[in-house]
């Protein structure tokens, strides 16, 4: 194990060069969801107090009939579900619940929210020449969460591309989401029951009337007509519901995406956890099908399996998220969905399957994935990526044992003993690339981690050494 770990230290030695090469990426657009996150840390004791205040019994706490926030008790159920499993989910809230959270939950800090906004900040810090962000709403409070960087851009009320921090669309309303974080090994006690949180994670409660209706700024679309990016990092569909016309909104966005691709842009879709099954199916069939690349975590992988007729495999992965099962799941999604590149990020490992003729070759992908792991560790270790120094915070740290173990198991499945040494091989007619990651034992934050991993992996690979 020690020799293998040292070998991967060598693979990670090139991350500084990969980061430097990101300045050769001329332009990237990030769309569609940008908002304000209100972050609050909750512990088992506070969660128990909320349960008591709302008069929730143990049986009721474990009974969930819907994955939406229709009354305050749903907030507590959602938090407990994620706390007890160590998972991340996002549920949509109505105005009543929003007002209750304002009065009863509060927040510790405000930060950039939404995949589009988070990714824009990260890619700008990484040095992409121009990062153009889409905002359905961009008042002063939102603009202040963009980093003060000249390469970080947005669209003003007149349709002009400007420095994002300087744009203040006076008539726009702030869009605020709650990020409720909890820590590994924290304990929840109730009626003689003891629940230990298995993994640090978060529960997201969203009330967002614009992004939840996929409001696309026409000025943004028009601006990209004359400023075609090399790549578009796409997200935001997960907030839609079929009841509010979400399926039709997904379909309505397709011509815009296809127009970007026809002009030469590569489109990466961050799948995100989508609770509405009809919308999730539409995302897979309308957007993921067309995307050049898609990114997901193990939870989202299971959710995609459920809407492509693979319930049995979804159940297997839900019960045992082993490397072997996840590899089979990603392969199944690659074959049935049809995206040219599928990347999964999970605890200790990143895994990519892509077509043999994909424009970014396997070694470029591996280098981009190693950079993403370094940047993700920097985010976990420092709490923010608002300066370039934090990107390389974890340089010199060793990769994790569990990731190396996953590599060996994948090598056995694909029948390639050398796969664990290089993380590059072939499987069922596709290139397969995997890297063990750097784990931070007590992360300062996990908000936006998956978005950071997927975007830096993909954009970092575009100009990486091949």
DSSP 355-401: -TT-SS-HHHHHHHHHHHHHHHHHHHHHS--SSHHHHTTTTTPPPPH
pLDDT along the chain (466 residues), means of 10: 90 97 98 92 95 95 92 96 94 88 88 94 98 96 96 95 95 87 95 94 90 94 94 94 95 97 97 94 97 97 98 97 96 97 97 98 98 97 92 95 96 96 97 97 85 97 94
Position 38 scores a pLDDT of 87
CA distance 137 to 85: 34
Phi and psi, residue 179, nearest 5° = -110, 110
- Three-state DSSP at 200 gives coil
Tally: H helices and E strands in the chain: 20, 18
Residue (of 118, 91, 247, 73) closest to 178 by Cα position: 91
What the block records as the tokens of 101 is 């959270």
Which residue has 């989202």 as its token pair?
300
CA distance 361 to 302: 27
Position 2 scores a pLDDT of 83
Q: Where are the beta strands (DSSP E) in 52-114?
A: 89-92, 109-113
Contact 356, 430 (CB under 8 A): yes
Residue (of 271, 250, 243, 257) closest to 343 by Cα position: 271
CA distance 9 to 185: 30
- pTM of the full structure: 0.86
| Strand order across the beta sheet in which 109-113 lies | 89-92, 201-206, 176-182, 35-41, 109-113
Position 184 scores a pLDDT of 94
Sequence-distant (6+) residues with CB within 8 A of 455 are 30, 119, 122, 123, 233, 268, 270, 295
- Three-state DSSP at 414 gives helix
Residue (of 167, 170, 145, 140) closest to 156 by Cα position: 167
Which residue has 């040292």 as its token pair?
6
Position 154 scores a pLDDT of 98
The burial of 150, by beta-carbon neighbours within 10 Å (0-12 exposed, 13-18 middle, 19 or more buried), is given as: exposed
Contact 8, 404 (CB under 8 A): yes
Position 43 scores a pLDDT of 96
What the block records as the tokens of 414 is 């694909």
Distances (CA, A) of 265 to 30, 185, 251, 287, 295: 12, 44, 19, 15, 17
The burial of 312, by beta-carbon neighbours within 10 Å (0-12 exposed, 13-18 middle, 19 or more buried), is given as: exposed
Which residue has 């190693």 as its token pair?
370
What the block records as the tokens of 348 is 């200790």
CA distance 269 to 12: 26
CA distance 423 to 268: 22
The burial of 86, by beta-carbon neighbours within 10 Å (0-12 exposed, 13-18 middle, 19 or more buried), is given as: middle
Position 95 scores a pLDDT of 85
Position 446 scores a pLDDT of 79
Position 445 scores a pLDDT of 81
Q: How does 420-433 read in b/e, with b if 16+ C-beta sit within 10 Å?
A: bebbbbebeebbbb
Contact 49, 189 (CB under 8 A): no
Can you list the domains of the chain with their CATH numbers? 2-36+112-163+211-462 (3.40.1190.20), 37-111+174-206 (3.30.1110.20)
Q: Where are the beta strands (DSSP E) in 252-331?
A: 266-270, 293-297
Contact 193, 58 (CB under 8 A): yes
Written as one string, the DSSP assignment of 80-92 is HHHHHHT--EEEE
Residue (of 275, 247, 213, 372) closest to 68 by Cα position: 275
């Amino acid at each position: 194990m020690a020799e293998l770990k040292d070998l991967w230290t060598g693979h990670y030695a090139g991350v500084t060069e990969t980061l430097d090469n990101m300045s050769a990426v001329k332009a990237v657009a990030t769309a569609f969801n940008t908002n304000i996150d209100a972050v609050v840390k909750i512990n088992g004791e506070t969660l128990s107090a909320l349960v008591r205040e709302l008069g929730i019994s143990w049986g009721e706490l474990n009974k969930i009939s819907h994955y939406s926030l229709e009354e305050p008790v749903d907030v507590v159920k959602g938090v407990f579900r994620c706390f007890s499993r160590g998972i991340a989910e996002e549920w949509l809230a109505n105005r009543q619940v929003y007002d209750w959270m304002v009065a009863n939950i509060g927040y510790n800090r405000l930060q950039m929210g939404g995949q589009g906004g988070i990714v824009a900040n990260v890619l700008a810090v990484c040095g992409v020449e121009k990062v153009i962000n889409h905002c359905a709403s961009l008042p002063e409070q939102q603009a202040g969460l963009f980093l003060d960087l000249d390469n970080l851009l947005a669209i003003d009320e007149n349709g002009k591309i400007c420095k994002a921090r300087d744009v203040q669309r006076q008539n726009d309303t702030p869009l605020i989401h709650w990020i409720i974080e909890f820590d590994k090994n924290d304990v929840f006690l109730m009626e003689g029951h003891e629940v230990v949180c298995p993994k640090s994670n978060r529960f997201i409660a969203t009330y967002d009337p614009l992004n939840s209706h996929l409001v696309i700024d026409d000025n943004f679309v028009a601006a990209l007509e004359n400023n075609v990016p090399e790549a578009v990092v796409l997200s935001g569909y997960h907030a839609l519901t079929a009841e509010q016309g979400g399926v039709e909104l997904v379909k309505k966005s397709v011509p815009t995406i296809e127009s970007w691709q026809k002009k030469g842009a590569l489109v990466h879709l961050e799948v995100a956890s989508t609770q509405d099954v009809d919308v999730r199916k539409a995302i897979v069939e309308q957007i993921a099908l067309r995307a050049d690349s898609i990114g997901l975590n193990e939870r989202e992988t299971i959710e995609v399996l459920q809407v492509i007729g693979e319930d049995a495999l979804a159940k297997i992965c839900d019960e045992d998220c082993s490397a072997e099962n996840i590899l089979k799941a990603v392969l199944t999604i690659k074959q049935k969905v049809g995206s040219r590149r599928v990347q999964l990020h999970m605890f200790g490992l990143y895994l990519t399957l892509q077509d043999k003729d994909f424009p970014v070759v396997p070694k470029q992908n591996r280098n981009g994935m190693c950079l993403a792991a370094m940047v993700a560790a920097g985010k976990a270790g420092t709490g923010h990526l608002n300066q370039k120094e934090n990107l390389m915070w974890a340089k010199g740290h060793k990769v994790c044992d569990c990731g190396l173990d996953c590599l060996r198991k994948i090598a056995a499945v694909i029948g390639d003993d050398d796969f664990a040494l290089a993380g590059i091989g072939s499987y069922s007619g596709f290139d397969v690339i995997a890297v063990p990651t750097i784990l931070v034992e007590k992360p300062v934050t996990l908000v936006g981690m998956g978005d950071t991993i997927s975007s830096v992996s993909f954009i970092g690979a575009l100009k990486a050494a091949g």
